[in-house]
Amino acid sequence: MNGKLILRLFLYLIFRFLHLLLLLESDIYALLLRLFDKKNQEDEVEIFNIFGRYRFDNTDVTRESDFLSFHEKSTIFEEICEEGWFIYNITERYVYFVKISPIEEDNFESTISIEKCSKLGIFLHQNAEKLARCQVDTFQRITRDLPPFRNKVLIFHSAPSCGGTTVGKLLQACDNSKLSLLVLGGLFFLQIIE
């Protein structure tokens, strides 16, 4: 048991090192492109190609290092407002997005349903094709002017061992279409307390 854990930890450390190395090279490459290409000065979003993905644990809170990626291009924010882009993570500096393609029938409503993916974070990690990042300040400035969402989003949180899982299952049971409700799992440190 300890041998497997040590091996997983070692692989995770190697992955994190490769992630940092590729990110450094990618940032240098993007900086050089911006220096020599003056027309892209207003671009707000960086889009990356994904070469690999690894997460030490599915409940890991750190998500900005889930992918090995390299800079593809810089673009305007409107490009990631298209169908298929989802917010993946928000840190102090960046908002990360992932692009996924529909798995069946080119229909996101049937792809991202409670029957197909009960945990959205895991689904996005496994099916991401591209990664994008935008600075938090830019994201706040741009989204302030966007119209409200068509659908309603309800987020509720409960303390550990206070029935949050039961309430989530009851809400899922009320959704006959199986398309309207996704339950995001709790944070790992909260699950330890339970």
Residues in the chain, pLDDT under 70: 1, 38-43, 56-64, 102-119, 147-194
Of 162, 133, 163, which is closest to residue 63 (Cα–Cα)? 133
pLDDT for residue 30? 82
In the numeric block, the tokens 């049937």 are attached to 110
pLDDT given at position 166: 65
CB atoms within 10 A of CB 74: 18
Give every strand in the sheet of 94-99, ordered side by side: 67-75, 45-53, 130-135, 94-99, 85-90
- What are the residue boundaries of the structural domains of the chain, listed by start? 2-148
The torsion angles phi and psi of 88, rounded to 5 degrees, stand at -105, -40
pLDDT at 168: 65
Query: What is the predicted pLDDT for the residue at 39?
Result: 67
Query: Residue 18 has what pLDDT?
Result: 86
pLDDT of 26? 83
Strand partners, 50: 69
